[in-house]
A = this chain, B = another copy of it.
Amino acid sequence: MKTYLDCFPCFLRQVVIALSQVPVDEALKVEILKETLEDVRGTDTSKTPAHTTTFIHRRIRRMLGRDPFKEIKHRYNHAALGLYPSLKSLVDDSRDPLWTASRLAIAGNVIDFGIYTEVDIEAEIDRSLKGEIVWDDYTDFRAALDRAGEVLYLVDNAGEIVFDRILIETLRDRGNKVVAVVKGGPVINDSTAEDALEVGLQQVCEVRDNGSDAIGTILEWCSEEFLALFRRSELVVSKGQGNFETLMNVDKDVFFLFQAKCNVVAGFLGVASGSMLLVDNRKLKGHDFPYTKTDSRIG
């Protein structure tokens, strides 16, 4: 996906979110934000928004001398782990464990643990389990899993990775060999090897990293090892909007499980912002996605 004009305010919103994680002086925050304007200016709109935000987050980490999301990720994982037993039972006791686990994995992407409001996660999940999957290629997803032996599973956020673990366990129990892929280095609240360890993912499947600290999966920046793995994989399960933005045009069998979290991606797909989606990559082909919506309200 290319970068739209509407992505630019969101670039700065992401800077503000990153800086709000750390108790540093407001003046330093403003200085860092102003420096990131270099990355915003450097935006190549023919590339994905994830390209620019990757540069931005690198600069923020460099200038802060730390990963601003380290603590919150730990808290996300801990909160989600507390739900694991009940969610696991929910899946095991359901008529179609794959369906339930898939929905849960999408719900896990829906949950956007507000930093000061880690409350009512269960209610959020309950809502997500009842809510409509607006774009629902589940039947094709199940069929593709039945055909495939090995599945490459690209996880997304910390916390959410617990939900991924449950889906991966379900895939394993159905006979798929799963290789989970985390980020090669910290970037926003995305899962790294450390998060995988924290939620016990290594006990369930092989865990590899993509050799990159990019938002989503920007193949040109991934390691040779990951690219080899990616190329030979029969089926890719991809979590989160960042992976959708960066992999939607790839010529592979990919199923995207995510929530359209911004107006640009939602408008692009013709769905409401906040929609839960299970998208077969092959069904995107031939579609025309004329993104025209813009935020035109005047303050």
Binding site for B on A (CB under 8 A): 5-6, 8-17, 19-21, 26, 29-30, 33-34, 37, 40-41, 43, 45, 69, 72, 112-116, 157, 188-189, 241, 261-262, 294-299
A selection of 9 A-B contacts at a CB cut-off of 8 Å is A8-B12, A9-B12, A17-B295, A17-B298, A112-B297, A114-B297, A115-B296, A115-B298, A188-B299
Known: A9-B12, A9-B15, A17-B299. 12 other contacts (CB 8 A): A5-B19, A5-B30, A5-B33, A8-B12, A10-B299, A11-B12, A14-B299, A34-B43, A37-B41, A72-B298, A112-B297, A188-B298
Contact B17 A296 (CB under 8 A): yes
The answer for the CA separation of A72 and B296 in the assembled complex, in Å, is 11
B5, B21, B114: which contacts A26 (Cβ < 8 A)?
B5
The 5 A-B residue pairs whose C-beta atoms are closest, nearest first, are A9-B12, A9-B13, A115-B296, A20-B294, A20-B296
Identity of the chain B residue whose Cβ is nearest the Cβ of A36 in the assembled complex: B8
The answer for the CA separation of A114 and B297 in the assembled complex, in Å, is 5
Identity of the chain B residue whose Cβ is nearest the Cβ of A53 in the assembled complex: B299
Identity of the chain B residue whose Cβ is nearest the Cβ of A115 in the assembled complex: B296
Once A112-B299, A296-B20 are accepted as A-B contacts, the answer to whether A12 and B12 lie under 8 Å apart by CB is: yes
Identity of the chain B residue whose Cβ is nearest the Cβ of A35 in the assembled complex: B41
> Which residues does chain B contribute within 8 Å of A45, judged by CB atoms?
26, 30
> Which residues does chain B contribute within 8 Å of A11, judged by CB atoms?
12
B29, B69, B295: which contacts A5 (Cβ < 8 A)?
B29
A186 to chain B minimum Cβ distance, whole angstroms, is 13
B16, B37, B157, B296: which contacts A114 (Cβ < 8 A)?
B296
Once A5-B30, A9-B10 are accepted as A-B contacts, the answer to whether A112 and B17 lie under 8 Å apart by CB is: no
> Which residues does chain B contribute within 8 Å of A6, judged by CB atoms?
16
Contact A8 B16 (CB under 8 A): yes
> Which residues does chain B contribute within 8 Å of A262, judged by CB atoms?
299
A62 to chain B minimum Cβ distance, whole angstroms, is 18
A219 to chain B minimum Cβ distance, whole angstroms, is 22
> Which residues does chain B contribute within 8 Å of A30, judged by CB atoms?
5, 43, 45
Identity of the chain B residue whose Cβ is nearest the Cβ of A40 in the assembled complex: B37
> Which residues does chain B contribute within 8 Å of A19, judged by CB atoms?
5
